[in-house]
Structure 1
Amino acid sequence: MLDNLRGMAVFASVVGHGSFSGSARELGITTSAVSQQIRSLENELGVVLLHRSTRKLSLTEAGESFYESAKDVVSAAEQGRIKVNQLRDELAGSLRVSTTPELGVNHILPALSTWMAAHDDLSVTYLADNHYIDMIDERIDIAIRMSPSINDSSLSSYPLTDVRQLLVASPQYLRQHPKINTPKDLADHQLICIEIMKDANQIDMIQTETNKKTRVKMNSRIYTNNVFMATTLAKEGHGLVRMMEMDIKKELESGELVEVLTGYQLPSFVLYAVTLNRDQQPAKITRCLEVLKKYFHAN
């Protein structure tokens, strides 16, 4: 089948140029290679396509009929090549982005909103989920993750920003419960657990001045798998919550939530954009990565 397609392309080129030599120059092969392709095609079809003479070539009746089909095949292949190049080099086609609901609403959409509006040939799909999504199965172009998947050679990771964890509560909660001066005081308080976090009710803290590490296991009676819900529960005074600083920036600025134990630090993370490992990424992916990097650098 592939030989037939190659032969059809050579045949269309020969007819278009009116000679074997002209076709050879266009295709970058020898005249004898062109002649061999035509002979093979004629043998495969069982008909003569060209009348050959020392001065010119002419089409047989079968050749005239077959030429129209050959032209259509070559034209379709060229259009396909053009479309592939457009998808590779232009901001067109589809782009699938995976993120968490919180990152999506608070950061990814604000980062990409203006860029999306400027490229209306691009169709964008956002998959927002707190669970791991297989990039190949779900045809994901870019995944926003807190882990780089460095053990997977099929993926490439691009760091976007450092992310701090904070232990926070509402002013109302702090007024109504015992003071928190040291990590040990946390034993007298309730922690709103976000189940997507590993060891959700266990907190590691490092004293800023001494670098001393302390591990505290807090009491919990309220659990959720959603950061938005955990934030609301904390604002309404139901307990302390361990959150990514970037997820509660607005609440910290408004004073609805305040950080406790400011002399201590929780482990931090790095936010990554992850793509499938390719020799050459399509322009829509590289440009999207550039926009995301610029946004997080500025913020």
Structure 2
Amino acid sequence: MLDNLRGMAVFASVVGHGSFSGSARELGITTSAVSQQIRSLENDLGVVLLHRSTRKLSLTEAGESFYEAAKDVVSAAEQGRIKVNQLRDELAGSLRVATTPELGVNHILPALSTWMAAHDDLSITYLADNHYVDMIDARIDIAIRMSPSMNDSSLSSHPLTDVRQMLVASPQYLRQHTKLQTPKDLADHQLICIEIMKDANQIDLVQTETGKKTRTKMNSRIYTNNVFMATTLAKEGHGLVRMLEMDIKKELESGELVEVLTGYQLPSFVLYAVTLNGEQQPAKITRCLEVLKKYFHAN
């Protein structure tokens, strides 16, 4: 089938130029290679397509009929090439972005909002989920992740920003419970557990001045798999919560939540944009990555 398609393209070129040599020049192959393609095509079809003479070529009846089909094939292939080039070089077509609900609402949408409005030929789908999404199965162009699989050779990771974890509580909660001065005091407090986090109720702290590490397993009676819900529970005074600083920026600025044990640090992360490997990424993907990097650098 592929040989026939190649032969049809050569046949259309020969007819269009009226000669084997003209077709050979256009296609960048030898005249004998053009002749071989036509002979192979005729053999496969079981008909003669061209009458050959020393002066000119003429189409047989079968050749005239087949020429129309060959032109259509070549035209369709050219249109397909043009469309592919447009999708590669222009900000058009579809773009699928996977992120978490929290990152999506608080950062990805604000980062891309103006860019989206400026490119109305681009159709964007956001998949917001706290679970891992297979980029190939879900046809994802860009995934925003805290811990991409660096061992997966099919993926490329683009660092966006460092992300700090914090242990926070509401002022109301802190007024009503035992004072927090050292990691040992955590034993007297309740932790609101976010189940999507690994070892959700285990707190690893490093003293800022000495570098001394402490690991504490806190008591928990409230669990959720949603960061928005955990934030609300903490604001209403139900316990401490371990959060990413970028997820609670507004609450920290308003004073609804405050950091505890400020002389200690929790492990930090790197936020990545992950794409499928490819030497030539479409312009819509590379431009989107540029916009995301600019946003997180500025913030």
Summarize deviations over 1:227-259 as a string: whole Å, max 9, x none: 000000000111110000000000000111011
Moved over 4 A (4+): none
Summarize deviations over 1:160-218 as a string: whole Å, max 9, x none: 10000001011111111111111111111111000111111110111111111111111
Structure-1 residue corresponding to 2:290: 290
Gaps of 5+ in 2: none
Q: Give 1:59 shift.
A: 1.3
SS in 1 for 2:193: strand
Q: Give 1:279 shift.
A: 2.1
SS in 2 for 1:10: helix
Summarize deviations over 1:134-177 as a string: whole Å, max 9, x none: 11111111111111311111111111100000010111111111
Gaps of 5+ in 1: none
Summarize deviations over 1:261-295 as a string: whole Å, max 9, x none: 11111110000111111222121111111111111
Q: Give 1:20 shift.
A: 0.8
- TM-score by length of structure 1 reads 0.98
Q: Give 1:30 shift.
A: 0.7
CA distance in 2, matches of 1:6, 1:17: 17
Structure-2 residue corresponding to 1:31: 31
Summarize deviations over 1:72-119 as a string: whole Å, max 9, x none: 010001111111111222212211111100000000011111111111
- Pairs aligned (count): 299
CA distance in 1, matches of 2:206, 2:164: 13
Structure-2 residue corresponding to 1:193: 193
Using the aligned pairs only, state the percent identity.
94
CA distance in 2, matches of 1:26, 1:293: 44
SS in 1 for 2:135: coil
SS in 1 for 2:153: coil
CA distance in 1, matches of 2:83, 2:253: 48
CA distance in 2, matches of 1:201, 1:62: 78
Summarize deviations over 1:33-78 as a string: whole Å, max 9, x none: 1111111111222222112122211112111111111100100011
- TM-score by length of structure 2 reads 0.98
Q: Give 1:22 shift.
A: 0.6
CA distance in 2, matches of 1:135, 1:44: 42
SS in 2 for 1:210: coil
